[in-house]
Structure 1
């Protein structure tokens, strides 16, 4: 809904900026023809913006929860619109403050962060920074860094909570049990196991130094579900080039066992793959099987 509000406010600010700074043009002396033309303009502008606002609302309505849809009242929307458009257009500071507030609200106030966020605390901190006589680039960097640090902590907490909740779903529990059984069977067949929990079978150890998390590699691979069905593979005979650090933890741990030209079968538990969220065709906490060959290893000079 942020775009809907912002579009309306942007239009309001354009109108405000075009008016005389001391007098609202609606209060001027106009003849009948000018008044009629102004009314036509107001009606046409209102229809255009109202239709666009409804179009935007319908576009985002499918993304809203049922509670959000029930809470969103058109009458309240129009009331807010009227409040801004009826404000003395000479007071651009107020209008820009409204716009700033809506932008800040859209950043995270309407999101479930898992922690309480008090609007009064935001305003107090905003005023403290905004009412200073001067601001340096160092100040901006400092405040940005502080925000990022706290926001990262909030995200980490929210992600951990979501991960824990997802692990308790029937799908996740079923996949965890199936993965543990599969890995146990592979270990009985002679597979080895990393400290992290990845089961692997070396088909060819390769040559030279082993892969590290600093390397960029070229590899060919096939990814499979436990039933043998493929969900991903490299493009034909063309190796995929990737930074090792960008791969999931379990895949990294398997690659660390190989040198250039090496190949292996990796069985990666869900917690070391795509976790409780899954990804595309990959289920929550699903254990995955990869057949991988390291075609080349590039170690950056720095």
Structure 2
């Protein structure tokens, strides 16, 4: 009797877990589809003519910088404002103290590292970063799952630390 009861409880638990995983999968697919739709609407509404990179990142140059193009492994200091696609500000660098990181390192999301590699010191631009280059299905940093992020950035300082070729 105990074995039969245990077997029935186990089967019910497996079915419940399976259904729950499928429901979560559908919800995640729906959230991802909504993100794509919102991104497409944002691009159209704001008349963005730039094409995304192969990864899906949009880089919009606002002011051209000088010097060498930033490469993975370089150190940069940037001022930034991070927003959700609905313009809600969720983060910003300090007014007087720029954010400092190694490009391609573990300190920032992939979209930020990729984005600054299109820039030079003193440059200003906007990055439109789809969730797969940010936090994806996680609700990290208090952000909703599948959040497209927009960063207005300025490269304050660029220190060449990489050994990559500087050719363009």
Q: TM-score range by the shorter chain?
A: 0.7 to 0.9
Question: 1:1-302 to 2 correspondence within 5 Å?
Answer: 165=25, 168-186=28-46, 188-245=47-104, 246=106, 247-300=108-161
Give the root-mean-square deviation of aligned CA atoms. 2.4
Comparing 165-174 with 233-242, greater Cα deviation is found at 165-174
Q: Considering only CA atoms, is the larger Rg found in Structure 1 or Structure 2?
A: 1
CA contact (8 A) 1:166 1:284 kept: no
CA contact (8 A) 1:208 1:259 kept: yes
Deviation for aligned residue 1:228: 1.1
CA contact (8 A) 2:125 2:154 kept: yes
Distance 1:280 1:258, change over 3 A: same
Deviation for aligned residue 1:262: 0.7
- TM superposition outliers: structure 1 runs of 4+ over 6 Å: none
Distance 1:301 1:179, change over 3 A: closer
CA contact (8 A) 1:171 1:283 kept: no
| Structure in which a larger fraction of residues adopt strand | 2
**Residues 102-127 of structure 1: CA distance to partner in whole angstroms, max 9, x if unpaired?**
xxxxxxxxxxxxxxxxxxxxxxxxxx
| Structure in which a larger fraction of residues adopt helix | 1
Distance 1:242 1:167, change over 3 A: farther
CA contact (8 A) 1:183 1:267 kept: no
Aligned residues: 139
Gaps of at least 5 residues in structure 2 are: 1-20, 164-168
Tell me how far apart the structure 2 counterparts of residues 243 and 184 of structure 1 sit (CA, whole Å). 33
Q: Structure 2 length normalisation: TM-score?
A: 0.72
CA contact (8 A) 2:71 2:162 kept: no
Distance 1:182 1:301, change over 3 A: closer
Tell me how far apart the structure 2 counterparts of residues 198 and 167 of structure 1 sit (CA, whole Å). 24
Deviation for aligned residue 1:278: 2.8
**Residues 31-77 of structure 1: CA distance to partner in whole angstroms, max 9, x if unpaired?**
xxxxxxxxxxxxxxxxxxxxxxxxxxxxxxxxxxxxxxxxxxxxxxx
Tell me how far apart the structure 1 counterparts of residues 69 and 26 of structure 2 sit (CA, whole Å). 35
SS at match of 1:209: coil
Deviation for aligned residue 1:167: 7.0
